[in-house]
Every structure is written in structure tokens, then in C-alpha cells.
Amino acid sequence: RPKVTLNELYRLAADKTPITCLTAYDYPTALLSEAAGVDMVLIGDSLSQVALGYDSTTTITLDEMIHHSRAVSRGAKTPFIFADLPFGSFEASVQAGVESVVRLVKEGGVDGVKIEGGREIIPLVKRLSAIGIPVIPHLGLQPQRATSLSGYLVQGRTAQGAQELYETAQMMQDAGAFAILLEAIPHNLARHITDNLKIFTIGIGAGPGTSGQVLVITDVLGLYADGAKPRFVRHFGNVADEARKAVNGYVQEVKGGTFPELGKETYGMKKEEWEGFL
């Protein structure tokens, strides 16, 4: 399969073939998307919590995002890959944003970037689009500002909120965004935005009416299947149980003396060599 281009993504959207997108944080998670033929891979700043164990999405640094983007780009050769601009790497000025994005592209090897925000990021979206960097604004629920939103709450649920979101999406399109990511908004609003924009949409918690879907890979795998699960998450497997079984099995067999098994999992030596050694 050839490398997924923007043209290919626009073609999928025009054909109403749902675009698949998954997060990846390292080489093995990137290989999962590569092997499954996923269209787009996102190095999300969810990396902060789900792969690095930080409490918040705002903790992760640009250097950490770049380090992980490099690993993902080595594994996901075919999908279109894009990374989040982490909190603190773009807010100060358009110049700060451009410098961060250039590093993600040059050092991280990504094809494009995602930026959380509203109308205040339009100058940055314009500048990046003008210099030829694909940018996907992240509208609706924006985890980087969960504190000021008083939590992870559904957005755009009032007539006025919906109107604002719809207009912001149109302004992002006019600013040159190649697509819009919509998180945790009513499904009919997401469909309305998708149907009325020329660019495509990727949704999470935005229903089936977007051009594509994205989920966090650890959610898809069920790697932390015992935690609290937002309404829009589906576990497509239970890797947590499998992983625990494997590690418990290893610990028990080593403690019990049944791993490694002589002859089967060990190397031998010719008798005379052994006696020569002794």
C-alpha cells in the first residue's frame, strides 16, 4: 500500500468511506496501525497520561512529543501521521507555534499537526497552511483546557454553542485547515458541520456522521480496561487481562522453578568440552 496522501484522504471522504485514525505512542503501537491499514496515525498528547503516566495532558513537553513521534514514524510508514502541538508550545505567538511545528516535522518526522483551540489559533492555522504544513484544528472538547471548562464536558449542546462551533469550523476551513477534529459534541451537530464543509472531519465522541473516527489505541486494545470509560470509548479487546496473565505466568513459573525448562529452553555443550572446562 502506498503512503496515504491528503488527496487519498479527500477521496475517501468524498466517497463516504469512513477514514480510520488511531493514536500511537511508540514503535509497537505504530506497527499495529501499519499492519491494520489504518489511514491516519496521531501522536496525541494523550501520550502524557496513557504512555508516560503523567497526571495531566498539559505536562508533556515538545521534546517528549518529538521523541515519541520519531518512534511512531519508524513504525507507521504508510498512514498519514500527525502530532498534537502540546500545551505551552504554541500559545505565546505565531512564531512560537511555527517553530514548534517545524521541529515536529523535521525532527519528529510527522506529515501534519493538530492544534487545540478556537478562533485565537486562526493566525497560526493560516501561517502554517501558507508555508505548506497540513494542520487540523481540534474543536469541541479540548482536554488541554479541561480546567477552565470545569472538566471533560460535552461541548456545543446549546443553540448558541452549536452556532459558534459551526462558525469556528468554517473559519478554520477558510484559514486553510485540511480537516477538522471534533471531540465530544452532539452527533447531529458533527454531521451538520461535516455536510457543510468542503474539508473533512475526524470525530471522537461525535457520532457516525463525521468523515472518519479516531480513538486512543490503549482504549481500543483495552489496555486499561478497568478504568472509568467515557461514553464514546469502545474496548475492542482486553489486552489488560492478557498482559496480566502473561506477566503473572512468568513470575509464577520462575518462582516455581518451571521456567526455563532444561533441554527445551536451554543451550547444551559437548561432554568433552564441558569436562575440559571442569
Give residue 259's region: left, alpha or beta (phi > 0; psi -120 to 50): beta
Q: Are 35 and 22 in contact (CB under 8 A)?
A: no
When the beta carbons of 29 and 173 are compared against ligand KIV, the nearer one is: 29
Stretch that binds ligand KIV, among 11-19, 38-46, 69-77, 128-136 (CB under 6 A): 38-46
Using CA atoms of 137, 191, 204, 70 in order, give the dihedral in degrees to the nearest 10.
-40
Task: Choose, by CB under 6 A, the member of 172, 182, 204, 206 that binds ligand KIV.
Answer: 204
CA atoms within 13 A on the CB side of 44: 24
**CB of residue 183 to ligand KIV, shortest distance in Å:** 6
Task: Choose, by CB under 6 A, the member of 23, 49, 89, 100 that binds ligand KIV.
Answer: 23
Cis peptide bond prior to 260, omega within 30° of 0 = yes
222: helix, strand or coil: coil
Residue given cell 487519498 in the structure block:
8
Look up residue 59 and give its three cell numbers: 505536562
In the chain, the amino acid numbered 113 is V
DSSP state of 148: T
When the beta carbons of 139 and 216 are compared against ligand KIV, the nearer one is: 216
Tell me: does residue 183 bind Na ion (CB under 5 A): no
Q: Is residue 107 annotated as part of the catalytic site, yes or no?
A: no
Could you say which of ligand KIV, Na ion, none residue 214 binds, taking C-beta under 5 to 8 angstroms by partner kind?
Answer: ligand KIV
Cα–Cα distances (Å) from 161 to 19, 138, 164, 245, in that order, read 27, 16, 5, 47
Q: Which residue is nearest to ligand KIV (CB)?
A: 44
Q: Binders of Na ion among 33-52, rule CB under 5 A?
A: 44-45
Task: Choose, by CB under 6 A, the member of 20, 29, 33, 46 that binds ligand KIV.
Answer: 46
Task: Choose, by CB under 5 A, the member of 26, 34, 84, 183 that binds Na ion.
Answer: 84
Tell me: does residue 112 bind ligand KIV (CB under 6 A): no
Q: Which residue of the set 183, 253, 261, 275 is catalytic?
A: 183
When the beta carbons of 23 and 194 are compared against ligand KIV, the nearer one is: 23
**CB of residue 84 to ligand KIV, shortest distance in Å:** 5
Tell me: does residue 45 bind ligand KIV (CB under 6 A): yes
Could you say which of Na ion, ligand KIV, none residue 204 binds, taking C-beta under 5 to 8 angstroms by partner kind?
Answer: ligand KIV
Contacts of 239 (CB under 8 A, 6+ apart): 221, 222, 223, 225
Q: Are 162 and 169 in contact (CB under 8 A)?
A: no
Task: Choose, by CB under 6 A, the member of 216, 220, 221, 223 that binds ligand KIV.
Answer: 216
When the beta carbons of 34 and 116 are compared against Na ion, the nearer one is: 116
> d(Cα 41, Cα 72) in Å, to the nearest integer?
9
Tell me: does residue 84 bind ligand KIV (CB under 6 A): yes
Residue given cell 496521531 in the structure block:
42
100 sits in which H/E element:
helix 94-106
* Residues that bind ligand KIV in the complex, under the rule CB under 6 A: 23, 42, 44-46, 84, 181, 183, 204, 214, 216
User: Which residues are tagged catalytic?
Assistant: 183
